[in-house]
């Protein structure tokens, strides 16, 4: 398993199915499976297919929300939201078998995740997003830069409204990566959109 810093860099791909991931694998280091509507059985089946695909392509595999599915599918990473299994409980179950990321939407949440030993943070929404039914309040680039400084050497993934057009500004705020769903999957050319985000100049030494 590579270091977290090398996995969380550039375009952070999020997909609902293994089929969506296939064309994007050349432009990402990590793929997260996120499907809120799937049953546990459906999610495990998709996770196992995506695990095989990512392993063949040398890409890390992350499961959203579900520690049990991540372990059963031999994923590398699990990403937890604020309403998912608490970080302490997730670590007790997974031990060091999984890298654990946590979505945060405020300084207080980020501080709690860091204190709990999160391996990386998600932070946002940085911009308005249509990928969530009830999104948290938009945080903006200045708040993102604050979280990056707070996290210090822990990678921060910018979430919410990340597009090829704003990815460079997100990178300048110090984020290690930008997670994108609709701006890539709904783009006329999803491969080009993924490539543009991945090549947006991600370098945590460049901060606002």
pLDDT along the chain (208 residues), means of 10: 83 98 97 96 98 97 98 98 97 96 98 97 94 82 98 95 98 97 97 98 61
Tell me if 31 is assigned to some domain.
Answer: yes
Is 195 known to be catalytic?
no
- Which of 9, 29, 34, 195 is an active site residue? 34
Is 36 known to be catalytic?
no
Q: Is the bond leading into 125 cis (omega within 30 degrees of zero)?
A: yes
Tell me if 203 is assigned to some domain.
Answer: no
- Which of 66, 103, 131, 183 is an active site residue? 103
pLDDT at 2: 62
Is 149 known to be catalytic?
no
Helices 140-151 and 107-115 pack at an angle, to 10 degrees, of 20
How many structural domains compose the chain?
Answer: 1
- From residue 203, alpha-carbon distances to 83, 139, 159, 191 in Å are 30, 21, 17, 22
Tell me if 73 is assigned to some domain.
Answer: yes
- From residue 23, alpha-carbon distances to 17, 18, 19, 184 in Å are 12, 10, 8, 11
Tell me if 173 is assigned to some domain.
Answer: yes
d(CA 64, CA 16): 10
Tell me if 208 is assigned to some domain.
Answer: no
Tell me if 75 is assigned to some domain.
Answer: yes
* Full-model pTM: 0.94
Looking at residue 85, which CATH number applies to its domain?
3.20.20.70
- Which of 36, 55, 132, 206 is an active site residue? 132
Domain containing residue 135: 4-198
């Amino acid at each position: 398993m590579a270091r977290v810093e090398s996995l969380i860099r550039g375009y952070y791909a999020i997909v609902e199915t293994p089929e969506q991931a296939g064309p994007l694998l050349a432009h990402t280091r990590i793929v997260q499976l996120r499907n809120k509507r799937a049953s546990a059985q459906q999610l495990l089946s998709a996770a196992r297919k995506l695990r095989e695909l990512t392993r063949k392509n040398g890409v890390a595999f992350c499961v959203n929300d579900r520690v049990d599915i991540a372990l059963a599918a031999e994923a590398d990473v699990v990403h937890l939201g604020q309403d998912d299994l608490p970080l302490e409980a997730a670590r007790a179950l997974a031990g060091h078998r999984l890298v654990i990321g946590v979505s945060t939407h405020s300084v207080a949440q980020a501080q709690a995740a860091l204190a709990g030993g999160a391996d990386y943070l998600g932070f946002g929404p940085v911009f308005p997003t249509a990928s969530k039914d009830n999104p948290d309040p938009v945080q903006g680039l200045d708040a993102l830069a604050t979280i990056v400084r707070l996290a210090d050497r822990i990678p921060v993934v910018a979430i919410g409204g990340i597009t090829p057009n704003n990815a460079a500004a997100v990178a300048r705020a110090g984020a290690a990566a930008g997670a994108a769903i609709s701006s890539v999957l709904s783009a006329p050319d999803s491969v080009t959109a993924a490539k543009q985000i991945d090549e947006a100049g991600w370098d945590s030494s460049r901060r606002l």
